[in-house]
Amino acid sequence: MRKGTLHREVLLLTAVIMLLFLFTITAHAQIEQDGDAIRANITSATEVTVSIDAPAQAAPDSDFTADVNVSEVVDFDACNYDVSFDASVLRLDNVTSGLIGSTTIPVDLYTESSSGTYRIIQNVPGLTGVSGSGYLAVLHFHVIGSEGDSSAISLSNGMLANNLAEEIAATWTGASVRIATTASEDATPPTVVNSPPEATAPDTAAPLPTEPINWPVLWGVIGGVVVIGVIILSQALRRRR
């Protein structure tokens, strides 16, 4: 009779330990799933924005610049994108380097792929990448249109990459310029903002859950059950004697 009781107690202890291990594996999978979901939400919330910063108006036969702004970016290394505009209203004379923080973003190549569309390719020297916000490049335009004309300056086919050659998700937005004789003040170059307004965003993001927060509790439960099982087994062996 005692042998049968001992057998049942050993089976019960084994079943409890197996259930706890299954619970541990399930909890681990849930932690990973929750972490992935939070990472996806944070990535979506902090998606990079690349936009054109241009004056709303420009005078006929005048020059003006438009910045290709970029919001907070991490480990940025390279990019390529198309800039398009109405070639009967604007003429692109030059594309010069941008600036993120204190790092210059050189222009490796800009070439006209079709009338009013230029392909721009840029790469940061070295392998460390650059983090922060600022502007990728400066577009130097000359107005060839007449008063009352207007032209959109749009961005398309754009891609940002980090120093691991991974794509950085980004939203690309353009701007529009209207030709007007009263635009003497508006035609001045846009103010360059080198200090990133979004630089504090990573500090305000909620920290991701980490495994050490949950594992001690789980292993503590397992250890407690093992101790209880050993006590039960010892008592059963004592009764058997």
Q: What is the DSSP string of 77-129?
A: EEEEEEEE--TTTEEEEEEEEEEETTEEE-EEEEEEEETTEEEEEEE-SSSS-
- Looking at the fold, whether 59 and 177 belong to one and the same domain comes out as yes
- Looking at the fold, whether 176 and 97 belong to one and the same domain comes out as yes
What does the CA dihedral 161, 135, 127, 158 come to, rounded to 10 degrees? 20
Comparing 68-77, 190-199, 217-226, the range with the smallest average pLDDT is 190-199
Residue 40 lies in a domain: no
User: 223 pLDDT exceeds 80?
Assistant: no
- Looking at the fold, whether 13 and 82 belong to one and the same domain comes out as no
- Looking at the fold, whether 190 and 111 belong to one and the same domain comes out as yes
User: 183 pLDDT exceeds 50?
Assistant: no
Residue 203 lies in a domain: no
Comparing 37-46, 92-101, 151-160, 226-235, the range with the smallest average pLDDT is 37-46
User: 36 pLDDT exceeds 60?
Assistant: no
- Looking at the fold, whether 93 and 184 belong to one and the same domain comes out as yes
User: 122 pLDDT exceeds 60?
Assistant: yes
Band of pLDDT at residue 203, cut at 50, 70 and 90:
very low
- Looking at the fold, whether 193 and 215 belong to one and the same domain comes out as no
Band of pLDDT at residue 85, cut at 50, 70 and 90:
very high
- Looking at the fold, whether 64 and 122 belong to one and the same domain comes out as yes
Q: Which residue has the higher pLDDT, 48 or 196?
A: 48
Over the chain, what is the mean pLDDT?
Answer: 79
Band of pLDDT at residue 230, cut at 50, 70 and 90:
low
Residue 156 lies in a domain: yes
pLDDT reported for residue 84: 98
- Looking at the fold, whether 164 and 56 belong to one and the same domain comes out as yes
Residue 61 lies in a domain: yes
- The residues near 201 (Cβ < 8 Å, ≥ 6 apart) are 46, 72
- Looking at the fold, whether 97 and 154 belong to one and the same domain comes out as yes
- What is the C-alpha separation between 126 and 135, in angstroms, rounded? 19
pLDDT reported for residue 180: 93
Band of pLDDT at residue 181, cut at 50, 70 and 90:
confident
Residue 98 lies in a domain: yes
- Looking at the fold, whether 188 and 212 belong to one and the same domain comes out as no
pLDDT reported for residue 161: 97
Number of domains in the chain: 2
Report the pLDDT averaged over residues 118-122. 98
Distances (CA, A) of 131 to 70, 76, 93, 134, 202: 11, 6, 29, 10, 11
Q: Which residue has the higher pLDDT, 207 or 20?
A: 20
- Looking at the fold, whether 224 and 189 belong to one and the same domain comes out as no
Residue 39 lies in a domain: no
User: 207 pLDDT exceeds 60?
Assistant: no
- Looking at the fold, whether 112 and 178 belong to one and the same domain comes out as yes
Report the pLDDT averaged over residues 82-111. 97
Band of pLDDT at residue 231, cut at 50, 70 and 90:
confident
Residue 91 lies in a domain: yes
Q: What is the pTM of this model?
A: 0.60
162: containing domain: 47-197
Residue 88 lies in a domain: yes
CATH number at residue 71: 2.60.40.680
